Amino acid sequence: MITEKVDLMKVKSCCINGKLILNDLFKLQRTGEIRAVQKVVVSAKKLFPDSYLFKKWGNHLSSEDQREAEELFQRYGYNAFLSDRLPLNRKIPDTRDPRCKRREYPENLPTISVILIYLDEALSIIKRAIRSIIDRTPAKLLKEIILVDDNSSNEELKGSLDAYIGIIRKERPGLVKKVRHKEQMGLSQARISGWEVATGDVVAIFDAHIEVQVHWAEPLLTRIKMDRTLVLTPVFDKVNFDDLQVTLYYPAADGFDWAMWCAYDGFRPEWYQLNDKSQPGKSPSIMGILVVDRLFFGEIGLLDPGMKVYGGENVELAIRVWLCGGSIEVVPCSKVAHIERAHKPYQHDLSITMKRNALRVAEVWLDDYKKNVYVAWNLPLKDHGVDFGDVTERKKLREKLKCKPFQWYLDNVYPMLDPWNDLFGYGAVCMLAFSQSNKSKTILKLNEKDSLWTSSLCYYRTNGELYIGGIKSHKYEENRCLVDTGEMPGLYNCKEAKKKGFHMYWEFKQGEAIKNRETNRCLEVRLGTNAGYHLILQECSGQHWTIKHVITEQ
């Protein structure tokens, strides 16, 4: 909050050509010579008007500072320029539910080792994470902080970080440990490396761009003391990537889609019936941050070391925990503020490794449902050309742990995940010929040739529904159904089409017509006056269609 205008006499020595040097202003603020910086006197033209960093922040930066801020933003995906100018021990808002603040916890809780993993993180971000953990974790509970560097190239994370660790060790000898990979090994192996040197009863595995809230550890340790087979996650508040302010996030379960992308989801109905948002809730999956009994984590198989770079490793762990004797909870009384980057600097196209890792999860854990992962990535079920590595040891682990089948998970843990049991085919839909008598092999794709079609991806279910543009992974989500509405076909949300009694069910076999079950009219292509082709509905004339990938013949 702004409490005082800047005394220009006090900052006169900080001015060059009428511009204020922000570094010096913040120094004055920290030393108490001024209590707050209200504004910079002279503003410069925005040099990067299209940058996400400057959409809401940085209006008063000089040109020089804008260039530095943008360069750091592109490097890290968040505002490292501002981070370097904030106190390491800054206060963040206490966003816990009032019931959490009144809660008391046992005295004899397990100890905890906090593992921070990073790759080319900003130095001030790591230092602030360390400081928050030390300041907001009872000393008797905090066994150690383990820094795992996945072969960063940032020189600051060597000498400068070591110097800061040296200062901490004078305060708390032996508290901070550091592990550095000689080559980049990815998130899974970085987390495993931290676990291997941990000695606490419980391990908390965090990204390094976090700040813990007061009393973050006690709720988690209390739950694990009650049940060592729990894998827990706190509730993350969002730290904005631009102004680094904390935004409240409410408790939610962690879920995923069939492509193995993680996302927030709703809790099961019984949690909402409690009418108490401070209570832990069971969760189908877990985000990248987790807290678990150290020995149990080893017994359950840690993380899959065969996962590369990023993506899917958290879903793999979640499915394995549920199938092999544990469970996952979100603990709302534990709050951690986490920076949501504007972009991931270590790989611009995350889908490359995500696809590969997702297929690895499917091959080991999903049984007959592994086909759904191929559908989600629009890959053929065979000869897909994706090398997901050797999964022999992970399959042996599944046998050793005597894990349940994936069907149990769908039935008991994540019933809202649509099993896609009746899916016939998926991918591009193409017309083979204009008529049965026409022997030419002209091929037309069902795609953006008409404004109706937003994608060439189509999905046909044996119940007769034909989706255009995508298929949703969850039962509560809306698909877009092809409907016979007249001369031209239409697209409607399937639930709306069904409610209104639209003609939304089709007969289709590979290499044959697409025929509406109720109107008996066929989806066909007609040459328009402008030499373009248009989709129409008419009496069937013999036009045939194929769908790229067929799961099972009818």
Looking at residue 462, which CATH number applies to its domain? Answer: 2.80.10
| Sequence-separated (6 or more) residues with CB below 8 Å from residue 473 | 256, 257, 258, 259, 376, 417, 418
451 inside domain: yes
Q: Are 161 and 152 in contact (CB under 8 A)?
A: no
Kindly list the distances between the CA atom of residue 57 and the CA atoms of 44, 53, 61, 526, 528, in Å, as whole numbers in the listed order.
13, 7, 9, 53, 51
pLDDT in tens, 162-184: 999 999 999 899 999 999 999 99
pLDDT in tens, 228-259: 999 999 999 999 999 999 999 999 999 999 99
359 inside domain: no
The whole-number pLDDT of residue 43 equals 57
494 inside domain: yes
Any idea which residue has 């904005």 for tokens? 240
Any idea which residue has 């590969």 for tokens? 356
Q: Given a cut of 70, is residue 13 above it in pLDDT?
A: no
Taking residues 414-436, what's their average pLDDT? 81
> What does pLDDT average to over the chain?
87
SS (H, E, C) 397-408: HHHHCCCCCHHH
Same domain, 42 and 126: no
pLDDT in tens, 293-344: 999 999 999 999 999 877 889 999 999 999 999 999 999 999 999 999 998 7
367 inside domain: no
146 inside domain: yes
pLDDT in tens, 54-92: 999 999 899 999 999 999 999 999 999 999 999 999 999
The whole-number pLDDT of residue 430 equals 74
Region of 17 (left: φ > 0; alpha: ψ -120 to 50; beta: rest) is: left
333 inside domain: yes
How many Å apart are CA 118 and CA 191, to the nearest integer? 10
Same domain, 231 and 330: yes
Q: Dihedral of the CA atoms 265, 267, 273, 279 (nearest 10)?
A: -120
State the CB neighbour count (10 A cutoff) for residue 366.
Answer: 21
Same domain, 29 and 117: no
Looking at residue 228, which CATH number applies to its domain? Answer: 3.90.550.10
Among 304, 322, 339, which residue terminates a domain?
339
36 inside domain: yes
The whole-number pLDDT of residue 21 equals 39
Q: Given a cut of 70, is residue 446 above it in pLDDT?
A: no
Q: Which domain covers residue 491, as residue numbers?
A: 423-550
Model confidence at 432, pLDDT cuts 50, 70, 90, reads low
91 inside domain: no
Same domain, 63 and 124: no
Same domain, 58 and 198: no
Among 318, 339, 360, which residue terminates a domain?
339
Same domain, 75 and 110: no
Taking residues 495-512, what's their average pLDDT? 94
Same domain, 157 and 230: yes
Same domain, 72 and 205: no
Low-confidence winner among 115-124, 325-334, 342-351 (lowest mean pLDDT) = 342-351
Same domain, 142 and 77: no
Model confidence at 486, pLDDT cuts 50, 70, 90, reads confident
Q: Given a cut of 70, is residue 507 above it in pLDDT?
A: yes
Number of structural domains found in the chain: 3
Among 339, 359, 379, which residue terminates a domain?
339
Q: Are 146 and 197 in contact (CB under 8 A)?
A: yes
Model confidence at 488, pLDDT cuts 50, 70, 90, reads confident
Q: Given a cut of 70, is residue 22 above it in pLDDT?
A: no
Same domain, 462 and 542: yes
Same domain, 265 and 140: yes
pTM: 0.86
Same domain, 462 and 335: no
